[in-house]
Amino acid sequence: AASDPGLVERARKAKEALGDRLFVLGHHYQRDEVIQFADVTGDSFKLAQQAAARPGAEYIVFCGVHFMAESADILTGDAQKVILPDLAAGCSMADMATFDQVEEAWEILEDAGIADSVVPVTYMNSSADIKAFCGRHGGTVCTSSNAKRALEWAFEQGEKVLFLPDQHLGRNTAVLEMGLSLEDCLVYNPHRPPSAEELRRAKIILWKGHCSVHGRFTADSVDDVRRRIPGVNVLVHPECKHEVVLKADHVGSTEYIIKKLAEAPAGSKWAVGTELNLVKRLGQMFPDKSVSFLDKTVCYCSTMNRIDLPHLVWALESLVLGEVVNQITVDADTTHWAKVALDRMLALP
């Protein structure tokens, strides 16, 4: 499909026919064949900001995954319709924390007598009802580009934080950016919850979730690349395990990774630990620098990749015909509380 000129032409024509009624957002992990049609590309934070930036656009076609499209629906008005070109584009990390599990965890915190001092913070990569849970309980949302500020804010509101659902982003931010110790962090396994005593001792309770793509980079991946490419700079996403981030030279969101490469001197060597579509694109964007994938055994994010050109063309041509397919809608109550949490994030200094 990547090189199918017929489909490229059909997408171009449909976009042209829809004009300003259409706004296409694309996450950095999207395929090249899709990203070429995005009006704005970005990391999760930038895309959340951008979702509300075109109130005049009737249709927001979100080239990303389900939780991102939900957030766009929450942050936009009723007149705007958010479309996800393939409904199967979910996120395995977001699926690791269900609403029922989180409610049960909160009851356990109540029974331990500490719920009043716990502020819930959820990573953007979570379902709308988890964001709403955080809104209802005085918490907020964060992305990989503002996790430190969100945690600082949360620790001003309460003594402890419940961080959902990515244990790695939570641990990396708490330990490497906020000066907490590994002993301050407690992993919360919803299938085998910790004891009340353990919960009382913890400063930050990390939900036992992870990204199935970033979780596959290992400390050995970093050692190997340093052996193979002398002088290489290792740049990773904070969804990587703590031991990987500890061994890396730089860590940050996808937008940060792009910025870092853009600023790097010509001839410098980089090994990047994030999703493969983005790493390949970095190589094309910066041909004067050497860009390698941190570990060749790690592959694409399979759900991000579900949004391909045939699905995009189908969604756009349906809109041209007046049919809205794959609309993502969040109910009014969930929208209200999730927006409370998202607005707290967007208002962080």
Give the span between the Cα atoms of 40 and 286, in whole angstroms: 20
- The one of ligand SF4, ligand 13P, none whose footprint includes residue 43, by CB under 5 to 8 A per kind, is ligand 13P
317 token code pair: 């041509």
Neighbouring C-beta atoms of residue 259, cutoff 10 Å: 12
Smallest separation (angstroms) from ligand SF4 to the CB of 116:
31
**What's the number of CA atoms in the CB half-sphere (13 Å) around residue 215?**
11
CB nearer ligand 13P, residue 106 or residue 256: 256
Residue 345 among known ligand-binding residues: no
Residues that bind ligand SF4 (CB under 6 A): 29, 65, 91-93, 125, 211-213, 275, 301, 303-304
For the CB of residue 303, give the shortest distance to ligand 13P in the complex, in Å: 9
Tell me the closest approach of the beta carbon of residue 251 to ligand 13P, in angstroms: 11
Closest separation between CB of residue 209 and ligand SF4, Å?
A: 9
Is 297 flagged in the annotation as binding?
no
Please report how close the Cβ of residue 290 comes to ligand 13P at its closest, in angstroms: 23
Q: Which does 335 bind (CB under 5 to 8 A by kind): ligand SF4, ligand 13P, none?
A: none
For 124-189, the DSSP string reads SSS-HHHHHHHHHTT-EEE-TTTHHHHHHHHHHH-SEEEEESBHHHHHHHHHHHS---GGGEEEE-
Annotated ligand binding at 27? The verdict is: yes
- Outline where DSSP puts E strands in 140-281: 140-142, 160-164, 185-188, 204-207, 233-236, 250-251, 269-273
Kindly give the pairing relationship between strand 81-83 and strand 59-63. parallel
91 belongs to an annotated ligand binding site: yes
Minimum CB–partner distance for residue 91 and ligand 13P (Å): 6
Q: Is 300 annotated as a binding residue?
A: no
Of all helices (H) and strands (E), which one includes residue 277?
Answer: helix 276-285
Name the residue whose CB lies closest to ligand 13P.
Answer: 43
216 binding partner (options ligand 13P, ligand SF4, none; Cβ < 5 to 8 Å by kind): none
Q: Is there a contact between 95 and 117 (Cβ–Cβ < 8 Å)?
A: no
Nearest Cα neighbor of 133 from 125, 142, 144, 141 is 141
Nearer to ligand 13P, 68 or 185 (CB): 68
- Residue 4: what residue type? D
Consult the annotation and say whether 124 binds a ligand: yes
The two tokens of residue 212 are: 């199935």
**Which of 65, 139, 143 lies closest to 105 in space, CA to CA?**
139
Q: CB-wise, 278 or 338, nearer to ligand 13P?
A: 278
Q: How far is the CB of 15 from ligand SF4 (least distance, A)?
A: 25
Q: Is 126 annotated as a binding residue?
A: no
Please give the distance of CA 88 from its chain centroid, rounded to a whole number. Answer: 17
Distance CA(152)–CA(147), nearest Å, equals 9
Instruction: Considering the complex, state which of residue 202 and residue 211 has its C-beta at the smaller distance from ligand 13P.
Output: 211
237 is in an annotated binding site: yes
**For strand 160-164 and strand 204-207, is the pairing parallel, antiparallel, or unpaired?**
parallel
Q: Is 254 part of any known ligand binding site?
A: yes
Positions touching ligand 13P (CB under 6 A) are 28, 43-45, 91, 125, 143-144, 211, 239, 253-254
Return the one option of ligand SF4, ligand 13P, none that residue 92 interacts with (CB less than 5 to 8 A, by type). ligand SF4
| Residue owning tokens 């600023």 | 263
* Helix (H/G/I), strand (E/B), else coil: 258: helix
- Tell me 195's DSSP state: P
Instruction: Work out what residue 212 binds among ligand 13P, ligand SF4, none; the CB cut-off runs from 5 to 8 Å by kind.
Output: ligand SF4
Annotated binding site for [4Fe-4S] cluster: 91, 211, 301
Numbered residues of the known binding site: 27, 44, 91, 123-125, 144, 211, 237-239, 254, 301
Residue numbers in the known binding site for iminosuccinate are 27, 44, 123-125, 144, 237-239, 254
